[in-house]
Amino acid sequence: MSIRLITYLCLALALFTTAARAVNCARAVTPVENTVCSSENLRWLDGTLNDIYRRRLAKDDAREVNRQYATWEKSLKNCTSDGCIERAYYEGISLLSSPAPDFGWEGQWWNSSAPNMSEGTIQFSRSAEWSVTADIRVRAGRNRDEYTAEARKIYGMALIEGMADTSGCRVLLIPRRSGALQVYSNGDGGCRLSMPGGGFIDGRYLRASRDPRPPATLLSLGILPDKATDDRFRALVGDDYQQFVNTANVYLYQQDLDNIGASVISLWLRGAANSHNAIIMYTAGDIWAGRISPDEKGNRQLHYFSTKGSDVKTMPRTLVGWRLRYFE
């Protein structure tokens, strides 16, 4: 066996053995492991650290990342109190993240990871040596809410522990050397309970005076498979194209009830699914699409398009079933 192959196998084994979570709660046996598994906050920190660790493995020198991880893991195992364990996690997250020094917090930040027709913004102000004020807005379709919090600066990061009007929502903000801001929340705990339906604060934030995300299209969202199909759809629906995009807050594949080998995608806006809903069905040669929106009086109205004609009497079974959910 060659030295190169042996080196590769050893490295692969090292990656395999360390890529697991720091604490496996299904097999917790030590006092440290049991303490982590009994605390929602520590489990969140454990998951956050290991998410950062895996991201580092994917883009940086694996041996150096594993060396840093092993150094952190040793400090964790030396802990004999829950306070020590918590500090160890923050130190480990900072070690693996390498936060940007002298970071300029103040300004408005936009969540570039938020889905279409959703957004998150954080306005930082009154940045001091140990804290910074955060005004947070989260929107998911029509669902939205606002929060104010004081973030405590810790190990080059900022930690929100007591967000007003929430139930134990914790948020960790990590300044990146690229100039971006990475945000992690305890989304399986207090933040999930406190955010508007479908909303989340996690993601990669960019400082900007307005939303830095490029305008969405049905192609960029992955709803239509290629530019040719997107162009055909635009030509078919005309000015209604943007309305389909504005409905695409949640979208998922549905069954082709006509059994013609078509792809079927349902789209809707969170918080207004009964009044802002759409469906797109396409094959290699044809397209069918329907959209529901309120008229001036607030009554639901149907907009139907098809490359085979716009007569609803010829609507495929798939779209008929969709329409019946909203019109009797």
User: What is the reported pLDDT for 189?
Assistant: 75
Q: Is residue 217 part of a domain?
A: no
How does residue 188 score in pLDDT terms, banded at 50, 70 and 90?
confident
- Does 305 lie in the same domain as 260? yes
Residue 137 and residue 197 in contact, taking contact as beta carbons nearer than 8 Å = no
Predicted local confidence at residue 19, as pLDDT: 44
Supply the range of the domain harboring residue 76: 16-97
Q: Say if residues 254 and 279 touch (Cβ distance below 8 Å).
A: yes
Last residue of a domain, one of 179, 207, 235: 207
Whether residues 49 and 117 fall in one domain: no
* Across 187-191, 267-271, 314-318, least confident range: 187-191
Domain edge (last residue) among 51, 76, 97: 97
The domain tally of the chain equals: 3
Is it the case that residue 8 has pLDDT exceeding 80?
no
Average pLDDT of the chain to the nearest whole number: 91
Does residue 154 fall inside a structural domain? yes
In tens, the pLDDT along 262-304 reads: 999 999 999 999 999 999 999 999 999 999 999 999 999 999 9
Domain assignment present for residue 89? The answer is yes
Structure tokens at 238: 């005309």
Per-residue pLDDT reduced to its tens digit, 34-93: 999 999 999 999 999 999 999 999 999 999 999 999 999 999 999 999 999 999 999 999
**Rounded (10°) CA dihedral 201, 91, 23, 13:** 110
Are 253 and 293 in the same domain? yes
Tell me: do 62 and 27 sit in the same domain.
yes
pLDDT per position as a tens digit, 152-171: 999 999 999 988 788 789 99
Q: 22: pLDDT confidence band, cut at 50, 70 and 90?
A: low
What angle do helix axes 3-18 and 62-77 make, rounded to 10 degrees? 40
Whether 273 is in a domain gets the answer yes
Question: Does residue 5 have a pLDDT over 50?
Answer: no
Would residue 8 count as lying in a domain? no
pTM, two decimals, is 0.88
Residue 11 placed within a domain: no
Per-residue model confidence (pLDDT) at position 15: 44
Q: Which of 60, 305, 286, 108 is CA-nearest to residue 206?
A: 108
Domain-located, residue 218: no
Residues 128 and 59 in one domain: no
pLDDT at residue 3 above 80? no
302 contacts 327 by C-beta, under 8 angstroms: yes
Same structural domain, 145 and 166: yes
What does the pLDDT read at residue 168?
Answer: 83
| 253 lies in some domain | yes
For residue range 197-246, list pLDDT tens digits in order.
999 999 999 999 999 999 999 999 999 999 999 999 999 999 999 999 99
Residue 256's Cβ-count burial label (10 Å; 0-12, 13-18, 19+) is middle
